[in-house]
Copies of this chain bind each other. A is one copy, B any other.
């Protein structure tokens, strides 16, 4: 009972995510959100509790979206090294598109360790990324294309870190070529 909502909550959340992604949490004001979504302030507050809660929902959405893209990519039957390259392309396509970078990383640096829930989200993203990369690396090791001088989880943590770095690099305004080259070097160093 009661009046039915006139806007699509899911769609609105997606749009808000885009805005947060582009501008960050602090810099995004409610007017930005109402303007791009077309949803008035009070309606936004009706669907999501407040700015921070809305942001956390957007953050989760982003993580789920990113991880499922990675998972899809890791589940095809391409050679491991090609999968890694594809991961790199995905990640840099992401970041270079509009130089928005990765929302998780942007958020990690904006919040530092000041917000427990944000922290959890960031750590989950890191862990999931390592997990997926690890499965690719294991196959790479099985096929003698990746060194065994380190364990798969170690290499996965390392690669995740390399990706983090290149996402920052990409957002720092350097060319896509440069960030791509860095990733290529890193992948090449994994050879046995």
Interface residues of chain A, those whose CB is within 8 Å of chain B, are: 24, 26-27, 99-101, 105-106, 108-110, 112-113, 119, 122-123, 126, 147, 149-150, 154-155, 157-158, 160-166, 168-169, 171-174, 178, 181-182, 185-186, 188-190
Point out the residue from B24, B106, B108, B188 that lies within 8 Å of A150, measured CB to CB: B188
Asked if residues B157 and A182 are in contact (CB atoms below 8 Å), the reply is yes
In the complex with contacts A157-B185, A161-B186, A168-B108 CB distance below 8 A: yes
Point out the residue from B24, B123, B173 that lies within 8 Å of A174, measured CB to CB: B123
Chain B residue, CB-CB nearest to A24? B110
CA distance A113 to B101 in the complex (A): 11
In the complex with contacts A26-B27, A109-B168, A110-B109, A161-B182 CB distance below 8 A: yes
Most chain B C-beta atoms within 10 Å of own C-beta, residue among A24, A106, A110, A112: A112
CA distance A173 to B123 in the complex (A): 9
CA distance A149 to B182 in the complex (A): 14
Asked if residues A181 and B164 are in contact (CB atoms below 8 Å), the reply is no
Q: How far is the CB of A57 from chain B (nearest CB, A)?
A: 20
CA distance A106 to B106 in the complex (A): 9
Asked if residues A119 and B172 are in contact (CB atoms below 8 Å), the reply is yes
| 25 A-B interface contacts by CB (under 8 A) | A99-B113, A100-B112, A108-B168, A109-B168, A109-B171, A109-B172, A112-B171, A112-B173, A122-B173, A126-B169, A126-B172, A147-B189, A149-B188, A149-B189, A150-B185, A155-B185, A157-B182, A158-B186, A161-B162, A161-B169, A162-B162, A164-B164, A165-B166, A168-B168, A189-B190
Most chain B C-beta atoms within 10 Å of own C-beta, residue among A100, A122, A164: A164
Chain B residue, CB-CB nearest to A23? B112
